[in-house]
């Protein structure tokens, strides 16, 4: 299904339309390592000039941590380079209105090392572009979709931060997974989210309450990897902005509460050939009547590659210290290296009922992942499986949690170490990308290990 829309059916604008639409400000932005946008606001009339010159931004934006602390010098930037500039080059195919902000449009950008220079390899959009290019060289194109869970609490971000994020009031007070009647009080909010995103050319396939108190899920329409990752990024910004404007706070932490389930980002993937024909399904076989027979060779190999590379690429699926508290609990948050047919107790779920809907759902990622990096990791696994002709082994039958599920990193330090020493990751992403993200993760681990948590105080303060 194509994006919904204004104008040409995509939500994309021409720079010449900005004045007639009352747009006075354009945000030129790129996703950082966490998936948040950085860049500059420019007058709408300056966009054409910026198309030629680009927008210069300090390289710290792709090096510092989530609190903007420059914890580590990278080979390509740091104090030793004077924190020099990089350049954002607007990608006009992404120019769209942001209807929830006054008179504002957004144009996402690629990051280059200097004006007229090469793409910066560590930039998340570049990382994903490289994987789609390598898949295209095999005559294949991926279609992906994301389902994103998050928690929504009463009170603005400033209010919650002032009270230390304590005494959170969730927007649902009983478990409401798939419930309708008990969640109608939030429909005005989600109606605004859906309408705002639709006007921006981002179609929301569905909205639902989730199992956790105050937890929700939105699913986005499928498309090519880069456009889906871009839309996912804009969607998160929209939810945060609209939530704050309505007196709420949205959090995409993987597990914001120890007594509630974690929030996932499930990523669905299928492949088509150069003629846009699906390559995951065999002719005439149905997934329910003949599950194994329905999976074409390409699907088996892609699945096997995703499984085989999952331990090495976990840093892109679970990029934060908190990410691993989600994975430590058996609450449909992925389960080792198991796969199954329509089985939510596994990490890799094969679903679909026809050649055009046959797909693999990758369930390991948390809501805190960067979509560009998460999708890139999956595509690298797909290509690995296809090139090596791998086979996935037998599917998990029944409750996967009753079976031993091992093989994945259990914390951020382990994930960073595996990523750094993986020859397959270095082949897939390049040494510069691997070293960059490994060092950032190591710095995050050092900060976490130096922190004294509320749990430690409560457990040990007067007990040891």
What element of type H or E holds 267? strand 265-273
CATH of the domain at 380: 3.30.590.10
CA distance 404 to 419: 23
The total domain count for the chain is: 2
Q: Are residues 240 and 380 in the same domain?
A: yes
**Percentage of the chain modeled with pLDDT above 90:** 81
Q: Is residue 454 part of a domain?
A: no
Residue 435 lies in a domain: no
For residues 114 and 89, is the Cβ–Cβ distance under 8 A?
A: no
Task: Tell me, yes or no, whether 424 lies in a domain.
Answer: no
Tell whether 373 is covered by a domain. yes
Give phi and psi for 242, each to the nearest 5: -70, -35
pLDDT of res. 328: 84
Q: Output 88 or 327, whichever has higher pLDDT.
A: 88
Torsion over CA: 67, 71, 76, 77 (sign): positive
Domain of 345 in residue numbering reads as 132-310+333-406
Is 416 inside any structural domain?
no
Same domain, 172 and 284: yes
CATH number where 111 lies: 3.10.20.70
31 and 91 part of one domain: yes
| Residue 371 included in any domain | yes
- The tokens for 256 are 């914001």
Mean pLDDT of 55-74: 91
- At which of 406, 425, 452 does a domain end? 406
In this predicted structure, the answer to whether residue 416 has a pLDDT above a threshold of 80 is yes
Verify that 85 and 180 share a domain, yes or no.
no
- DSSP tag of 402: G
When pLDDT is averaged across residues 259-265 and rounded to a whole number, the result is 94
pLDDT value, residue 44: 96
Q: Among 375, 406, 437, where does a domain finish?
A: 406
Confirm whether 343 is domain-assigned. Answer: yes
pTM greater than 0.75: yes
- pLDDT tens for residues 205-218? 988 989 899 999 99
In a domain, 106, yes or no: yes
Instruction: Kindly state the average pLDDT of the residues 53-80.
Output: 91
Of 120, 140, 157, the position where a domain reaches its end is: 120
Band (1; pLDDT cuts 50, 70, 90) = very low
Same domain for 230 and 169: yes
Please determine, for residue 8, whether its predicted confidence score (pLDDT) is greater than 50. no
Residue found by looking up tokens 């074409």 in the block: 296
């Amino acid at each position: 299904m194509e994006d919904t829309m204004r104008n040409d059916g995509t939500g994309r604008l021409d720079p010449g339309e900005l004045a007639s639409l009352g747009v006075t400000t354009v945000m030129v932005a790129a996703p950082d390592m966490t998936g948040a946008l950085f860049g500059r606001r420019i007058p709408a009339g300056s966009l054409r000039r910026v198309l030629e010159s680009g927008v210069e931004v300090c390289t710290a934006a792709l090096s510092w941590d989530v609190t903007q602390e420059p914890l580590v010098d990278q080979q390509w930037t740091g104090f030793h380079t004077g924190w020099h500039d990089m350049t954002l080059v607007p990608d006009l195919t992404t120019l769209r209105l942001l209807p929830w902000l006054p008179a504002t449009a957004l144009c996402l950008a690629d990051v280059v090392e200097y004006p007229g220079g090469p793409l910066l390899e560590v930039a998340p959009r570049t990382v994903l572009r490289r994987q789609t290019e390598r898949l295209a060289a095999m005559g294949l194109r991926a279609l992906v979709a994301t389902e994103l869970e998050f928690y929504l609490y009463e009170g603005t971000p400033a209010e919650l931060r002032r009270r230390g994020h304590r005494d959170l009031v969730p927007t649902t007070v009983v478990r409401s997974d798939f419930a309708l009647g008990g969640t109608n009080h939030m429909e005005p909010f989600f109606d605004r989210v859906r309408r705002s995103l639709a006007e921006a050319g981002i179609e929301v396939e569905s909205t639902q309450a989730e199992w956790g108190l105050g937890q929700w899920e939105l699913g986005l329409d499928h498309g090519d990897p880069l456009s889906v990752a871009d839309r996912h990024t804009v969607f998160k910004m929209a939810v945060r902005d609209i939530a704050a404007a309505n007196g709420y706070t949205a959090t995409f932490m993987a597990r914001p509460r120890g007594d509630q389930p974690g929030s996932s980002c499930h990523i669905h993937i299928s492949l088509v050939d150069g003629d846009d024909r699906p390559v995951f399904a065999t002719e005439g076989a149905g997934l329910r009547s003949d599950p194994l027979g329905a999976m074409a060779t390409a699907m088996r190999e892609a699945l096997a590659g995703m499984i085989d590379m999952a331990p090495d690429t976990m840093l892109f699926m679970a990029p934060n210290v908190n990410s691993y508290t989600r994975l430590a609990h058996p609450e449909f948050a992925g389960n080792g290296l198991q796969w199954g047919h329509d089985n939510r107790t596994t990490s890799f779920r094969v679903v679909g009922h026809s050649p055009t809907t046959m797909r693999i759902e990758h369930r390991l990622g948390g809501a805190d992942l960067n979509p560009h990096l998460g999708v890139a990791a999956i595509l690298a696994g797909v290509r690995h499986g296809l090139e090596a002709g791998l086979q996935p082994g037998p599917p998990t039958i029944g409750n996967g949690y009753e079976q031993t599920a091992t093989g994945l990193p259990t914390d951020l330090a382990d994930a960073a170490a595996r990523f750094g020493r993986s020859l397959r990751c270095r082949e897939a992403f390049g040494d510069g990308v691997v070293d960059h993200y490994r060092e950032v993760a190591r710095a995050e681990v050092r900060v976490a290990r130096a922190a004294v948590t509320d749990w430690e105080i409560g457990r040990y303060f007067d007990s040891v």
